[in-house]
Chains A and B, each alone.
Chain A
């Protein structure tokens, strides 16, 4: 069964450092997303990506964040200068075409900023 894969599963970084979280969406999906979940809080939307550009982003997704699809399979989230409050689970998701197509999630990357 096709699945979304994310690497690494756990990343520890020092405050101020740059991190890149990687995702391989389901191959025939066209929409890609990043969400995050701070421990004990709601899942929060960060950004959606379609046709090689950002289609929507949240207030959280400020200039410290960027996304890329560097090749035909990978989808990355970069945080340029990490802050303590960036510590969270980061989930990549993808969905196909259509108005009600469900999103499938990767297993997540736990980012810990120290």
Chain B
């Protein structure tokens, strides 16, 4: 069973701090990795994707991937109260033309003013 694991939190950070969200996955052949943000009762909203080892930066967000450790993380710099949400890690599998996403349960982030 291919799994994606996240610490459910809640993770609480003060406004302006760096929030660090982590995710591990079991399928070593996974190709692509995605971070989605989900507000309560809403649909997942794509924040970033990464598929090469290393860091990828987009504004206040940085995704980090380490395939050897099967680990992907998301850093949010200068956290804002509006960043308070659940952050979902999703992994695209390795088998053939498999395009389905396998999801973690999500980490709840609270940014305190």
What separation, in Å, do the CA atoms of A47 and B34 have in the docked complex?
19
Q: A31-B99, A33-B100, A108-B43 are in contact. Are A100 and B88 (CB under 8 A)?
A: no
Q: Which of B34, B43, B106 has the most CB of A within 10 A?
A: B43
Chain B, residues 44-71, CB within 8 Å of chain A (1/0): the string is 1110010100000000000000000000
Residues of B within 8 A of A (CB-CB), count: 24
- Taking the closest CB of chain A, its distance from the CB of B103, in whole angstroms, is 4
Q: A43-B44, A106-B43 are in contact. Are A48 and B31 (CB under 8 A)?
A: no
- Taking the closest CB of chain B, its distance from the CB of A7, in whole angstroms, is 14
Tell whether, in the assembled complex, residue A100 and residue B98 are in contact, meaning their CB atoms are under 8 Å apart. Answer: no
What separation, in Å, do the CA atoms of A103 and B31 have in the docked complex?
14
Chain B, residues 16-47, CB within 8 Å of chain A (1/0): the string is 00000000000000011010100000111110
> Which B residues touch A31, using CB under 8 A?
99
Tell whether, in the assembled complex, residue B105 and residue A56 are in contact, meaning their CB atoms are under 8 Å apart. Answer: no
> Which B residues touch A89, using CB under 8 A?
43
Q: A104-B46, A106-B43 are in contact. Are A42 and B32 (CB under 8 A)?
A: no
A18 interface contact, C-beta 8 A: no
| Contact among A35, A99, A108 for B31, CB-based, below 8 A | A99
Tell whether, in the assembled complex, residue B44 and residue A56 are in contact, meaning their CB atoms are under 8 Å apart. Answer: no
Q: Which of A41, A91, A105 has the most CB of B within 10 A?
A: A105
Q: Which residues of B contact A (CB under 8 A)?
A: 31-32, 34, 36, 42-46, 49, 51, 88, 90, 92, 97-106
Q: Which residues of A contact B (CB under 8 A)?
A: 31, 33, 35, 41-45, 48, 50, 55-56, 58, 89, 91, 95, 99-100, 102-108
**Given A43-B101, A108-B42, A108-B43, list of 8 further CB < 8 A pairs?**
A35-B101, A43-B44, A56-B98, A56-B99, A91-B43, A99-B31, A104-B46, A105-B45
